[in-house]
Amino acid sequence: MAPRKKQAIFEATLDLVAAKGYDGLTIEGVADRSGVNKTTIYRWWPSKAALLGAALVEAELLEFDPPDTGSLRGDLTAMVDAIAKLLDDPPTREVAVAALGAAVRHPELDTRRFFADRFAREQEIFQRAVRRGELDPATDPMLLVDLLAGAVWIRVIFRDLPLTENFARDAVGAVLDGVGCSSAS
Amino acid sequence: MAPRKKQAIFEATLDLVAAKGYDGLTIEGVADRSGVNKTTIYRWWPSKAALLGAALVEAELLEFDPPDTGSLRGDLTAMVDAIAKLLDDPPTREVAVAALGAAVRHPELDTRRFFADRFAREQEIFQRAVRRGELDPATDPMLLVDLLAGAVWIRVIFRDLPLTENFARDAVGAVLDGVGCSSAS
Amino acid sequence: MAPRKKQAIFEATLDLVAAKGYDGLTIEGVADRSGVNKTTIYRWWPSKAALLGAALVEAELLEFDPPDTGSLRGDLTAMVDAIAKLLDDPPTREVAVAALGAAVRHPELDTRRFFADRFAREQEIFQRAVRRGELDPATDPMLLVDLLAGAVWIRVIFRDLPLTENFARDAVGAVLDGVGCSSAS
Amino acid sequence: MAPRKKQAIFEATLDLVAAKGYDGLTIEGVADRSGVNKTTIYRWWPSKAALLGAALVEAELLEFDPPDTGSLRGDLTAMVDAIAKLLDDPPTREVAVAALGAAVRHPELDTRRFFADRFAREQEIFQRAVRRGELDPATDPMLLVDLLAGAVWIRVIFRDLPLTENFARDAVGAVLDGVGCSSAS
DNA sequence: GAGTAATCGAGACGGTACGTCGTGTCTTGAT
DNA sequence: ATCAAGACACGACGTACCGTCTCGATTACTC
């Protein structure tokens, strides 16, 4: 179910993708760097995308510990900061972007896995908030997460703009309090 | 400043990217399909990403007319729906995803251009809202756009989930009114 | 001294070589077809050529019964016809050609074995002819065999030409009677 | 109709086939040795066999000048000696054997070409002999050639035996004078 | 009938070469 | 000035077999 040098292969995969991006990631390169033969990699993963997917799932690189600051606002802010950090630091940024590229372009790759996994763990934040009475149980937590995470992706990756110091605070403020639109229905 | 068959080249580029994704888009394929020699393409665009970028800028495919419904809420909802439609329809979805892939992986490509262009036109919505007194002039409009647009991307592309019927309404509601957090600062 | 499924292996070997030629013969293919593991074959024969060699030696396919027609001329004609038949019929032709290819290209394979074996049995023909007084005992029988067998190979395999009806008769006539050269020494 | 470094490619091909036999001849090896890229070779020849075939046709290696000694017997003896020399000398032997292997195993390769070409030039010998009155015009010259050439191949290559000193004389004697069979029809 | 070889199947592995595709460069000659 | 045509070096692709290796599982002979 796994090649003998799985760890070396995954490390090489992530190193290369971090260094050269998704296009610069080649099976041959991974084989070279991990001291394994090309055919061994093909024996276990059918494509570059699948290999990267497997490496990401096993990697602690994209791991995520849901913050627990005592308040929903604090937790969400911490979450936004964590995503921002992930997408700002060169090594993880490249990996995250590559993951996106791979996921988006290869339907055979279960792109949902990354996000579903992560979202499952984020649920805690909202469960605690509901328990504390901070959040209406009817609220859809995924909407909040998507609004916030999406904003970071758009700003940092799509727009390639740096985040302002209080981006996290403002964004969380917007989704929790609204921006104050006079025509509230 | 432009090859003689520019239109044919751009059409071929977008057709191919829609049909086979970013990876399936090749310079040779474009040359074939547009009846142009490979060298001609290289003479004008340095890379696949640059070609795609140019094609996208000229294309009406991703064009965008800022909605004017009379209210900020209505305009934003329409905007979210427009983005959702773009990312849901097979032809434009593929192109958008490819554009993302290209932008994200090629720093030489001015990814900001797409989004800056678009955002410039979205500004109208907020200017009108401010004029109507619906929106605090101090509000950062880009934050609103990023929250909403990001949520659609995350949900549709990253998570590969269909949008619910009232996604646009709920999302706009959240950013305008907040979700009702008891610990509002 | 021999694997348990030797017969199945040899059959598979000859089937494959007949069907796909020497290059199309692979150890893995033989293993598959004979229901044996690849390692088992390697345990017993060091190479494709050795395996084919062993299969040929054991096979009745290339077997040969020296004809006995009562006259040297008749025997030789029958021998030529037998060789011609071997090299003309699709199944044995392929095998013979493959054997040649293998033998010729693998010194470790005792190519002499096939021909020495065969020649030993052909000796009978000449011994009988000498006993009958048809043939000068000083004549080198191997020369006769080589002239005749070689002519068939050249014509059928090298030149890829069909044999004429009376090729055997003419060839035997030539070596027994000469072609009538006025300058006989 | 021909790559720019055709000569280098052919040289490398023949060198390699002489050094390592037909199986040791690889397209990649030829590419390396001739300073050409692998794809260039594939552009011009569809297979190893085709490449070798082309190299042989252009090579002077297997070239042949029909001898003219003044008598048919002398010419034929010289021809046999020439073939023997070709098949005995290590460099040409390997090439000849490889050519045989290639020709024999690849129907797409026009094996007849080598032999037909050669035979066309051998015709001279017989035309002269007929003019001199040495040879019955009704005699089939191809039969003589095949008998003699075949005998050399069988003895030297198939049997892997060295030729005796007077092999050529004896063989020519046999086909011209017959071996003296008492039952001559 | 148990014990001990010999034999085998399964399958991972490093490796070589395959034949193909696309890249981006170059030159030549036509328009 | 722009282009088509096309040869080319190059890098990587994904595949097929090679021959080797370990590990248990079967045989099948021997005592």
* pLDDT band for position B167 (cuts 50, 70, 90): very high
Query: Considering only CA atoms, which of A184, A158, A180, A177 is closest in space to residue A77?
Result: A177
Q: What is the pLDDT of residue A112?
A: 64
Query: Considering only CA atoms, which of A19, A112, A134 is closest in space to residue A57?
Result: A112
* pLDDT band for position D35 (cuts 50, 70, 90): very high
Can you tell me the distance from the alpha carbon of A79 to that of A64, in angstroms, rounded to the nearest whole number? 9
Distance of CA A47 to the CA centre of its chain: 21
A5 touches strand E (CB under 7 A): yes
Residue A12 identity: A
Q: How many Cβ atoms are within 10 Å of C3's Cβ, its own excluded?
A: 15
CB C72 within 8 A of CB C176: yes
| Residue A152 in tokens | 């970071």
Least confident of A10-19, B23-32, C69-78, C85-94: C85-94
β-bridge mates for residue B181, sequence order: A135
CB C172 within 8 A of CB C76: yes
Residue B147 pLDDT > 90? yes
CB D25 within 8 A of CB D43: no
Can you tell me the distance from the alpha carbon of C134 to that of B85, in angstroms, rounded to the nearest whole number? 100
Instruction: Determine the Cα angle at B55 with ends B49 and B61, to 5°.
Output: 125
Residue A183 pLDDT > 60? no
Q: How many Cβ atoms are within 10 Å of B89's Cβ, its own excluded?
A: 12
> CA of C4, closest CA in chain D: separation in Å?
31
Residue B135 pLDDT > 70? yes
Can you tell me the distance from the alpha carbon of A87 to that of C29, in angstroms, rounded to the nearest whole number? 51
Residue–nucleotide distance: C47 CA to F27 C1' (Å): 26
The continuous run of DSSP H or E covering C163 comes out as none
Tens-place pLDDT, residues C24-80: 999 999 999 999 999 999 999 998 988 988 898 887 666 778 899 999 999 999 999
Q: What is the pLDDT of residue D99?
A: 80
**Domain covering D72-176, topology:** Tetracycline Repressor; domain 2 (1.10.357)
> CA of C2, closest CA in chain D: separation in Å?
27
Tens-place pLDDT, residues B93-114: 888 888 777 777 676 666 667 7
Region B168-181: mean pLDDT is 86
DSSP-assigned states of every residue in chain A: ---TTHHHHHHHHHHHHHHHHHHH--HHHHHHHHT--HHHHHHH-SSHHHHHHHHHHH-STT-------SSHHHHHHHHHHHHHHHHHSHHHHHHHHHHHHHHHH-TTS-HHHHHHHHHHHHHHHHHHHHHTT-B-TTS-HHHHHHHHHHHHIIIIIIS--PPPTTHHHHHHHHHHH---BTT--
> CA of A115, closest CA in chain B: separation in Å?
6
* pLDDT band for position D176 (cuts 50, 70, 90): very high
Least confident of B57-61, B82-86, C124-128: B57-61
Nearest to A71 among B135, B154, B183 (CB): B183
Q: Which one has a higher pLDDT value, A12 or B159?
A: A12
Q: What is the pLDDT of residue B111?
A: 62
Can you tell me the distance from the alpha carbon of C131 to that of D180, in angstroms, rounded to the nearest whole number? 15
- Among chain C residues, the shortest Cα distance to D182 is held by C134
Residue D172 pLDDT > 90? yes
Summary count for chain C: helices (H), strands (E): 9, 0
Residue D117 pLDDT > 70? yes
Residue D112 pLDDT > 70? no
| Residue A88 in tokens | 């700002």
Nearest to D183 among C73, C161, C167 (CB): C73
User: Which ranges in chain B are annotated with CATH 1.10.10.60?
Assistant: 6-58
Q: Which one has a higher pLDDT value, A22 or B28?
A: B28
pTM of the complete model: 0.82
Residues 77-136/B with CB within 7 Å of nucleic chain E are none
- Among chain B residues, the shortest Cα distance to A98 is held by B105
Q: What is the pLDDT of residue B75?
A: 94
Residue D115 pLDDT > 70? yes
* pLDDT band for position C168 (cuts 50, 70, 90): very high
Residue C45 identity: W
Phi, psi at residue A135, to the nearest 5°? -130, 135
Q: Which residues contact D11 (CB under 8 A, 6 or more apart)?
A: D34
Residue–nucleotide distance: B22 CA to E12 C1' (Å): 35
Residue B182 pLDDT > 60? yes
Footprint of strand F on the protein (CB under 7 A): A 26-29, 38-39, 42, 46-48; B 1, 3-5, 35-40, 43-44; C 4, 26-29, 38-39, 42, 46-48; D 3-5, 35-40, 43-44
D29 touches strand E (CB under 7 A): yes
Are D and B neighbours with ≥3 CB pairs closer than 8 A? no
Query: Considering only CA atoms, which of C79, C57, C81 is closest in space to residue C66?
Result: C79
D4 touches strand E (CB under 7 A): no
Can you tell me the distance from the alpha carbon of B13 to that of D103, in angstroms, rounded to the nearest whole number? 46
Residue D88 pLDDT > 70? yes
State chain D's mean pLDDT as an integer: 87
> CA of D8, closest CA in chain C: separation in Å?
25
Q: What is the pLDDT of residue D84?
A: 93
Q: What is the pLDDT of residue C106?
A: 72
> CA of C161, closest CA in chain D: separation in Å?
8
Proportion of chain A above pLDDT 70, given as a percent? 90
Region A32-54: mean pLDDT is 93
A40 touches strand E (CB under 7 A): yes
Contact map slice: D 66-85 vs C, CB within 8 A: 71-73
Residue–nucleotide distance: C52 CA to E3 C1' (Å): 38
Region A3-21: mean pLDDT is 92
Tens-place pLDDT, residues A95-117: 888 887 777 777 666 666 777 77
Per-residue buried b or exposed e for D140-152, using 16+ beta carbons within 10 Å of the residue's own CB: ebbbbbbbbbbbb
Which nucleotide is closest to C49, CA to C1'? F18
Q: How far is CA D60 from CA B82, B89, D3, D121, D174, in A?
A: 74, 66, 19, 15, 31
**Domain covering B72-177, topology:** Tetracycline Repressor; domain 2 (1.10.357)
Contact map slice: A 100-159 vs B, CB within 8 A: 100-101, 103-105, 111-112, 115-116, 119, 129, 133-136, 139-140, 142-155, 157-159
CATH number of C6-58: 1.10.10.60
Q: What is the pLDDT of residue A157?
A: 86
- Among chain B residues, the shortest Cα distance to A93 is held by B104
User: Which ranges in chain B are annotated with CATH 1.10.357.10?
Assistant: 72-177
Residue B76 pLDDT > 90? yes
Residue C169 pLDDT > 60? yes
Nearest to C181 among D73, D97, D150 (CB): D73
Residue D168 pLDDT > 70? yes
Q: Which of A115, A143, A164, A185 to mutate to test the interface with B (most CBs of B within 10 A)?
A: A143
Proportion of chain C above pLDDT 70, given as a percent? 90
Region B63-73: mean pLDDT is 86
Region A63-92: mean pLDDT is 89
Residue–nucleotide distance: B16 CA to E3 C1' (Å): 70
CB contact (8 A) between residue A139 and residue B104: no
